[in-house]
Amino acid sequence: MTDALSEHIHYLSMPHRSDLYRSAIKSAVPANASVVDLGCGVGVLGIFCLEAGARHVWGIDCSDSIYLAKETVTKAGLGDRYTCVGGSTFQADIGENVDALICDHVGYFGIDYGIIDMVRDAARRMLKPGGVIIPDRIELTVAGVSSDTCRDKASAWSKEIVPEHFHWIDDQARNSKYSHDFEPGELCSEPAALGVVTLDAESPEYFSFAAEITVKGDGIFDGLAGWFNAHLGADIWMTNSPLDPVSIKRSQAFFPVAEPFEVKSGDRIAISVRARSDGNFLAWSVKPPGGASVQKQSTWASTILAKNDLNAASGGPLELSSKAKARLFVLSLVDGDRTAGDIEAIVMRDQPDLMPSEHATLDFVRAVLNGNTDR
């Protein structure tokens, strides 16, 4: 719960953010509308919708935040107009189609927090034809980076303080996306428009963008900075641009190159970015000046894959893990007659060593029966 509290007070503390959403909701959401808030957190945006005249809001979230949302709307006397739904937005069924969808899963780079998949799925299953989506599109911007701090982030695993056995992780680090609060002086080029993502039921699975940036000073090229400009409705936009005075001050994304290189003022650098709609895969390439080889990076290269992940990707045979087998055993005892206490007693009698200790076994059984798939 501590993580949920710190995460959402951080969102509420961002300058301009709440005011922008209030204005957008007031202008874009019809009076007496029904609304679904995807990944609602503690329920802030849904309450904004009710204050603006919405008839009913469904707030959906799979984190502990949903309990805070439920308690909040109850205390505020809004419980009859705000329904809290615990669980994944992809599995939720609210029983009707709504007038508007709202989703604040806007990442450091706009599309890197799963918003495309969430909105696409909900628009197909929950939204009336012609319904409102907030935000409805996201503009992506990139710029070159020359920054000692960013260079240190990307090379942290190859520094002397790290035992030599772990230096190989440097390759993983350079295929990772980082959050960073860029100062204008860390940008070695003017910003370049990368592309626009439209959020609706027809959003594709993959996106591919290309741009060219022009270096504005001599230095070392360390990678790319990326940020967003999200259209919330009418003429209302929300951005985390480090160059915009009305930025919400959300961190931007830093994408390192494999090998930093020297650049001079006026150099032109071709870049491309590919992204998967779930936000879990991002690939970027940078073509240095002077005919040097293109540097290609991808978050896929920093993904740690287990044996079953590799088998699934290759089409090989799959096996249940020991934890999956234990979960299957517990679930096999659910027959419609036994209580949770009955099942706990059977497991502790027949397989008390399901986990390394009796306490862990009992804790595991309770987690499985409560639907906690993380255990």
| Residue listed under structure tokens 């870049």 | 271
Q: How confident is the model at residue 114 (pLDDT cuts 50, 70, 90)?
A: very high
Please check whether residues 248 and 292 belong to one and the same domain: yes
Residue 130 is assigned to a structural domain of this protein: no
Please check whether residues 285 and 363 belong to one and the same domain: no
Residue 307 has pLDDT above 70, yes or no: no
For the ranges 42-56, 191-205, 260-274, 312-326, the lowest mean pLDDT is seen at 312-326
Q: How confident is the model at residue 81 (pLDDT cuts 50, 70, 90)?
A: very high
For the ranges 67-81, 167-181, 309-323, the lowest mean pLDDT is seen at 309-323
Please check whether residues 69 and 176 belong to one and the same domain: no
> In Å, how far are 9, 20, 144, 194, 288 from 236, measured between CA atoms?
23, 7, 27, 20, 37
Please check whether residues 295 and 339 belong to one and the same domain: no
Q: How confident is the model at residue 305 (pLDDT cuts 50, 70, 90)?
A: low
Range of the domain at 42: 2-104
pLDDT digits (tens, 9 = 90+) for 196-241: 999 999 999 999 999 999 999 999 999 999 999 999 999 999 999 9
Q: Average pLDDT of the chain?
A: 94
| CA nearest neighbour of 180 among 210, 138, 155, 145 | 145
Give pairs for 278-287: CB < 8 Å, separation 24+. Answer: 278/114, 278/116, 278/117, 279/107, 279/111, 279/112, 279/113, 279/114, 279/115, 279/116, 279/117, 280/114, 282/109, 282/112, 282/177, 282/255, 284/224, 284/255, 286/221, 286/223, 286/224, 286/257
Please check whether residues 194 and 92 belong to one and the same domain: no
CB count in 10 Å sphere of residue 102:
29
Q: How far apart are CA 94 and CA 60, in angstroms?
A: 10
- C-alpha 267, offset from chain centre: 34
Please check whether residues 257 and 199 belong to one and the same domain: yes
Residue 126 is assigned to a structural domain of this protein: no
| Residue listed under structure tokens 């989703």 | 103
Residue 125 has pLDDT above 60, yes or no: yes
Please check whether residues 159 and 268 belong to one and the same domain: yes
Q: According to the model, what pLDDT value does residue 3 have?
A: 80
Q: Please tell me the pTM assigned to this model.
A: 0.88
Residue 341 is assigned to a structural domain of this protein: yes
Total domains present in the chain: 3
